[in-house]
């Protein structure tokens, strides 16, 4: 009875503020509708003890309840995320007294912990990711040059955009930190004859990447290693890091970029492509979204503010030469991944357990929402070694944007 009274007060408060296409079905069959329009999302509360998740509807609480099976939620993931955020906004403050920024100060990132976190996220199965990624299995922000590209085209354009930004020349050496399933290294070898080393901490990624290198006949140019970036030796003309530095840890960014700098040839170019928070205090996303991701999706992952990243690059001996915001591109990428996930839901469900299915279902749509609402962003940052003569830098960015359809023959600055 007490739970129903609390729920009655809560639902009345929500209705006074919002009209949501939401239906809540209680354990006794009672239905609560929050709008006159047909519900797009239905939450079933199977027992009185689950009411507590609704009364305090943070993204962490409701996300946890859904993932752990304490409540049942049906509807499109994008609608689920939008409605849960509306509920949280009407009921809660964006950030609690304690934030992920505070906990980040005490986090340590060892080789063992980082490898464990990577295995948790990426070693689900290659088939799982293949069910909703593009055919090249590029698991990072795509680049929609015109805005009307399909996902596969946009991912290939992203890779070519990066290779143009680093001004890759035929035969140069390239280190790809966090190489995923090898798409960037393979493309660099195919187009430029680049001598590529790709490193990952995921055994599944490394195995499939090596198979793809062999299928492309590029074993003489591409070396895929199961290796931590801290253990790489040598120097490279070009270095790329795509969707990896989020795992480094805010307190370790300086030493990360110091290591990148040590691996970079004197006249080399490095490009870091990664997610940042837009919160200047580097707190997690509002309403517990960051805590949900930390618990269920990316253990030990930390998002720094752009200002923190640039400062850490400078502390690590790198000079920032170009910064591009691709927030709009990642919002669309995540929306396309969500659509693919839902379109192939039956197959995806066969490739993993129900709990992980529910995690990724809301995670992908939640990321799209976060990018759309400027909670997080994506920056590509091009750097060289600090202290270089300015003659080492091009006069303009024209070389980054070759004419549409141009080949690799002439990507030199002009």
| Start-to-end Cα distance in the chain | 75
Q: What is the 3-state secondary structure (H, E, C) of 319-341?
A: EEEEEEECHHHHHHHHHHHHHHH
The CA distance from 153 to 134, in Å, is 9
Among the listed residues 179, 334, 367, 383, the single catalytic one is: 367
User: Which residues make beta-bridge pairs with 383?
Assistant: 270, 320
Active site residue 196: no
Query: Which DSSP state fits 305?
Result: B
Answer for the pair 49, 116: CB distance below 8 angstroms, yes or no. no
Tokens of 25: 């079905």
Q: Give the Cα separation of 80 and 365 in Å (integer).
A: 9
Cα dihedral 137→298→80→325 (10° resolution): -70
221 vs 192: CA distance, rounded Å: 10
Contacts of 331 (CB under 8 A, 6+ apart): 368, 371, 372
* Residues designated catalytic: 367
């Amino acid at each position: 009875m007490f739970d129903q009274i609390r729920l009655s007060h809560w639902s009345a408060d929500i209705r006074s503020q919002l009209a949501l296409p939401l239906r809540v079905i209680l354990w006794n069959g009672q239905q609560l509708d929050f709008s006159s329009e047909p519900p797009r999302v239905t939450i079933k509360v199977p027992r009185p003890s689950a009411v507590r998740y609704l009364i305090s509807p943070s993204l962490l609480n409701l996300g946890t309840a859904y993932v752990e099976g304490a409540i049942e939620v049906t509807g499109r993931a994008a609608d689920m995320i939008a409605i849960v955020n509306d509920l949280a906004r009407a009921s809660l403050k964006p950030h609690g007294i304690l934030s992920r920024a505070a906990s980040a100060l005490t986090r340590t990132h060892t080789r063992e912990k980082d490898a464990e976190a990577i295995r948790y996220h990426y070693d689900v199965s290659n088939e799982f990711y293949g069910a909703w990624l593009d055919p090249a299995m590029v698991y990072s922000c795509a680049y929609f040059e015109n805005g009307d590209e399909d996902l596969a085209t946009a991912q290939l354009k992203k890779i070519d955009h990066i290779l143009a930004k680093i001004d890759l020349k035929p035969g140069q050496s390239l280190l790809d930190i966090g190489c995923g399933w090898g798409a960037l290294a393979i493309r660099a070898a195919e187009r430029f004859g680049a001598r590529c080393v790709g490193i990952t901490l995921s055994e599944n990624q490394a195995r499939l990447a090596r198979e793809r290198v062999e299928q492309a006949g590029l074993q003489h140019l591409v070396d895929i290693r199961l290796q931590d970036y801290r253990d790489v030796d040598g120097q490279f003309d070009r270095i790329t890091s795509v969707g990896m530095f989020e795992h480094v840890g805010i307190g370790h960014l300086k030493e990360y970029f110091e290591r990148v700098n040590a691996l970079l040839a004197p006249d080399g170019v490095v490009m870091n492509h990664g997610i940042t928070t837009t919160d200047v205090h580097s707190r997690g996303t509002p309403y517990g979204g960051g805590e949900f991701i930390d618990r269920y999706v990316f253990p030990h992952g930390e998002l720094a503010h752009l200002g923190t990243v640039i400062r850490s690059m400078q502390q690590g001996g790198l000079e920032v030469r170009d910064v591009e915001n691709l927030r709009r591109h990642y919002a669309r990428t995540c929306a396309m991944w969500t659509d693919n996930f839902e379109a192939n839901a039956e197959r995806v469900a066969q490739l993993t357990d129900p709990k992980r299915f529910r995690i990724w279902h809301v995670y992908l749509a939640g990321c799209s929402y976060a990018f759309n609402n400027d909670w997080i962003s994506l920056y590509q940052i091009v750097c060289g070694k600090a202290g270089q003569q300015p003659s080492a830098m091009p006069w303009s960015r024209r070389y980054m944007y070759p004419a549409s359809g141009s080949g690799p023959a002439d990507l030199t600055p002009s």
